[in-house]
Amino acid sequence: MFPFRLQDSLFVRGIETDKIGRFMNIVPSKTNNRRAGGVGTLLLGLLMLGACSKEPAMEQPAPESEVVRLDFTAGIMADAVPSTRATIDGSVFPPRNDAYLFGMWVCKHEDDPSAFIPAMNDYENMRVALYAVTTDEGEYQQQWEYTFDDKPHNVLHVKQHTPVDIYAYYPRTQVAGDQSALKPTAVPFQSGSSDWMWAEPLQFTCEQLSGASVDVPLAFSHAMTCLEIRMKCLYTGSVDLTSITLTDKKRRIYTSGSMNLVNRTLILSDENKSETLTIRPGTRLQPTDLKFHIIMPPVAGYEDGDFTLSFVFNGKPAETAFSIPNRMTNLSGEGEVTVSEFETGKRYIYSLTLDNTLRFTPVGVDNTWETEEFELEL
């Protein structure tokens, strides 16, 4: 783990080359406009988007000669995230009607971050809304809105020649009152269906913050592990999926904890361990696959039969609970593999068909997101 250079004075902390390589190609640059050099396909596209305004937003009042405008873009470091409202699909945040809500700190730079003093008033756990849209011409755009001083703004400034650190995460945790009580080193999360992500911390130096604006590419990655259950109903009657419960007989499921955005680690306590984790979709099943996600901190030391999945349909528990074996068929054609843990940044996919009986069937292989997909033999 070591810093990489995005450009002469912009650094990204703690990126592992085998994971970041799919999102951006990080090499030093000597360009005159000081943009990030050698950025890969996704980031090049993002940097060209710019920040578009929404009508209700208000600009932050500040003399233009004394501030630098931060032009944000956002992408995801892996390509195949589950595709639902709760989880993000692809290397960009896909268009949708409502905003993606981030929490963000823009702080005065610290060599050893601890104080997290906001660079300007209210720049702590700031509500940042990303509107991902497609124009009438079919062009993908990102529109940004920043809430501080209790008002929405369509631009975000920092002072010139004053180095800053930037931390961001998704989805934003709503905290009542003074946001200074929340720090980037301890952002609370709840396990369930939310796709918790953290961005690579960014540092901007005095030299870079000397012009009118600077590009700020936020590279997000997944902080949790994901079990995806794809379900379809071929039964003639109406069937509602009331709940799905994952059970670990060794009681290693963390139902909550905190995220440290500075070093991108999870802070977990034994008091938050549980034997079960339940999601409650309350969704009418269809003849085609619907996707449901159990998202939680990683689990190590997984052995055959440790975990089971159980279901409630139309308010009544199914008679069968399905054991998840740790040795299963890898549908990519590589034979059998042993799953010894549910890993951070990986998605484990199972398919359930409801007919006269419940049965699991194979699903396709997704090789672009370090995903392991298996047929669950019953």
Determine the pLDDT at residue 17.
30
pLDDT class for 282, splitting at 50, 70, 90? very high
| Degrees to nearest 5, angle at CA 104 with 100 and 109 | 155
| Per-residue 3-state assignment (H helix, E strand, C coil) for 35-79 | CCCCCCHHHHHHHCCCCECCCCCCCCCCCHHHEEEEEEEEEECCC
- For residues 70 and 183, state if they share a domain: yes
Q: How many CB atoms lie within 10 A of CB 173?
A: 16
Q: Higher confidence at residue 359 or residue 191?
A: 191
Q: How many CB atoms lie within 10 A of CB 79?
A: 18
- For residues 133 and 60, state if they share a domain: yes
* Among candidate residues 167, 188, 222, the one where a domain is terminated: 222
What CATH number is attached to the domain comprising 280? 2.60.40.2630
* pLDDT of 24 higher than 50: no
Determine the pLDDT at residue 363.
43
Instruction: Please give the Cα distance from 333 to 325 (Å, whole number).
Output: 18
- For residues 135 and 153, state if they share a domain: yes
**Are 326 and 306 spatial neighbours (Cβ–Cβ below 8 Å)?**
yes
What CATH number is attached to the domain comprising 124? 2.60.40.2620
- What total number of domains does the chain contain? 2
Instruction: Please give the Cα distance from 253 to 259 (Å, whole number).
Output: 16
- For residues 200 and 254, state if they share a domain: no
- Amino acid at the residue 337: V
- For residues 27 and 122, state if they share a domain: yes
Q: How far is CA 317 from CA 48, 244, 312, 313, 350, in A?
A: 51, 10, 4, 6, 19
pLDDT class for 330, splitting at 50, 70, 90? low
- For residues 195 and 255, state if they share a domain: no
Phi/psi at 32 (5° precision) = -70, -35
- For residues 88 and 233, state if they share a domain: no
**Are 224 and 179 spatial neighbours (Cβ–Cβ below 8 Å)?**
no
- For residues 217 and 351, state if they share a domain: no
Determine the pLDDT at residue 36.
37
Determine the pLDDT at residue 269.
95
pLDDT class for 131, splitting at 50, 70, 90? very high
- For residues 272 and 157, state if they share a domain: no
- Amino acid at the residue 167: Y
Instruction: Please give the Cα distance from 304 to 82 (Å, whole number).
Output: 25
Instruction: Please give the Cα distance from 124 to 167 (Å, whole number).
Output: 9
Question: How many residues belong to the chain?
Answer: 378
Q: Higher confidence at residue 342 or residue 6?
A: 342
Determine the pLDDT at residue 10.
38
Name the residue range of residue 69's domain.
4-222
Nearest alpha-carbon partner for 106 in 58, 155, 143: 155
According to DSSP, the residues that pair with 218 across neighbouring strands are 74
- For residues 371 and 284, state if they share a domain: yes
* pLDDT of 91 higher than 90: no
- For residues 232 and 202, state if they share a domain: no
User: What residues contact 28, with CB distance under 8 A and at least 6 apart?
Assistant: 5, 7, 8, 37, 38
Instruction: Please give the Cα distance from 100 to 110 (Å, whole number).
Output: 28
**Are 4 and 20 spatial neighbours (Cβ–Cβ below 8 Å)?**
yes
- For residues 58 and 91, state if they share a domain: yes
Determine the pLDDT at residue 16.
34
* Among candidate residues 200, 222, 244, the one where a domain is terminated: 222
Determine the pLDDT at residue 190.
95
* Among candidate residues 192, 222, 252, the one where a domain is terminated: 222
Determine the pLDDT at residue 348.
84
**Are 266 and 345 spatial neighbours (Cβ–Cβ below 8 Å)?**
no
Burial 350-372 (b: 16+ CB within 10 A, else e): bbbbbeeebebeebebbeebbbb
pTM of the model: 0.78
pLDDT class for 86, splitting at 50, 70, 90? low
pLDDT in tens, 141-152: 999 999 998 899
* pLDDT of 349 higher than 50: yes
Determine the pLDDT at residue 173.
82
